[in-house]
Structure 1
Amino acid sequence: MDKFTKLTGVAAPLPQINVDTDMIIPKQFLKTIKRTGLGVSLFSEMRYDSDGRENPDFVLNKPAYRDAKILVAGENFGCGSSREHAPWAILDFGIRCVIAPSFADIFYNNCFKNGILPIVLPQEEVDKLMDDAERGANAIVTVDLESQTITGPDGGSIGFEVDPFRKHCLLNGLDDIGLTMEKADAIADFEAKRATRTPWLAGA
């Protein structure tokens, strides 16, 4: 998993509330178990019409936001079913931070496990960032995980809270497998000792 330290990029505004995981990545795209290739289908039903043509009014289809790295969203983002494809699609598009007043629990947890930083802020702070995001290509925002600050286009700074363990994992690029591999030496030592003490468990 890629480390998350400091992220600077365009912030895209998506003010809708209750954006569920089926809106993020519709069910017909859940056949794959690969984490790549889903970005093109992110928000598919809002991004494209029935003939597959882009909807020019959808925020991520607008030239200023095609390379957005941050999403400023409405409350209860990521509700609905617990599909991990939702953060996969967001990450594959290129977005590594989602800011909202609230998230659905499972989606929130899945973001951390996939290298995305979900930030919960009071509605008034989200409104300020939403206003900043409306600036299009000038909506350059910096998210600094180490200092836990968000800096807007005008230089104003907002602080945010994050669980220390999850912060450690993101800063060091550690998913569940990475956390396990940090204990590789201890695991190997245990296995060696077990093989000596109970060789029959290994078929010896």
Structure 2
Amino acid sequence: MNKFTIHKGLVAPMDRENVDTDAIIPKQFLKSIRKTGFGQNLFDEWRYLDAGYPGQDPASRKPNPDFVLNQPRYAGASIMLARKNFGCGSSREHAPWALDQYGFRAIIAPSYADIFFNNSFKNGMLPIVLTEAQVDQLFSEALAFPGYQLTIDLERQVIMKPQGEEIAFDVQAFRKYCLINGFDDIGLTLRHADKIKAFEAQRLAQKPWLAHTMRA
């Protein structure tokens, strides 16, 4: 997965509490496990006025002009500002897939559903927890200033505002290590590829009949 070190991006304010995973990526789009193609249906029922189904041409859809991500001032946003309990509902990993594929690298909120929170880290996206007062202030600034951007420095664990003020945030050390180095679960395992190959070679030398079983 992509490394996360320092990211500067436009902020999109999602001013709703308890945004669930069925809103993030509706159930009819969960038929694929290829981890591609979900971004175009992010928040599908909120982004569009017509009913969505797999295989549609996005250009043929009817966008909802009142939805935040359809407003020109938030085009290209890569940091989402959200309210408490973001990502609640079912445990579908497609939710962080869709957010990532749409272009979001980080989310800032007072709290998250546990499974969504864990899945975000595993897919290269940084969910930052701040206090409700801090999030309220960021909402006020993002709404007041078109083009509002933040810089997130994961190594230093700070969010930098345009005027230079910094907001510190916590992140678990192992999750930070994985994001900075771009390691998902498979990547973590492949760090030991040489040891795995050596073990398999030794095992086959001791139990050669397993080679036939493995090929079958």
Give TM-score scaled by structure 1 length: 0.95
Match of 2:9 in 1: 9
Report which stretch shifted further, 136-145 or 176-185: 136-145
Structure 1 runs of 4+ aligned residues shifted over 3 Å read none
Q: Select between 70-79 and 43-52 the one with higher mean Cα deviation.
A: 43-52
- 2:196 aligns to what? 187
Tell me how far 1:136 sits from its aligned partner.
Answer: 5.2
User: Deviation of residue 200 (structure 1)?
Assistant: 2.8
Q: Deviations over 1:51-92 (max 9, x none)?
A: 631111111101111200000101000000011110011001
Moved more, 120-129 or 50-59: 50-59
- The separation in 2 between residues aligned to 1:64 and 1:79, in whole angstroms, is 27
Deviation, 1:23, is 0.5
Paired residue for 1:62?
71
Q: In structure 2, what is the equivalent of residue 28 of structure 1?
A: 28
Q: How does 1:17-166 map to 2 (within 5 A)?
A: 17-50=17-50, 52-135=61-144, 137-166=146-175
Alpha-carbon shift at residue 111 of structure 1 (Å): 0.4
C-alpha displacement of 1:140:
0.8
Q: 5+ unaligned residues in a row in structure 2: which ranges?
A: 52-60
Please give the per-residue CA displacement for 1:140-171, whole angstroms capped at 9, x wherever unaligned.
10011010000112221100000111101100
Residue 196 of structure 1: which of 188, 200, 205 is its match? 205
**2-side partners of 1:128 and 1:134: how far apart?**
10
AA of the residue aligned to 2:49: D
SS in 1 for 2:3: coil
> 1:178 Cα shift?
0.4
Mapped to 1, the partners of 2:147 and 2:163 lie a distance apart of 10
Counterpart of 1:86, as a letter, is A
SS of the aligned residue for 1:12 comes to: strand
In the alignment of these two chains, the number of paired residues is 204
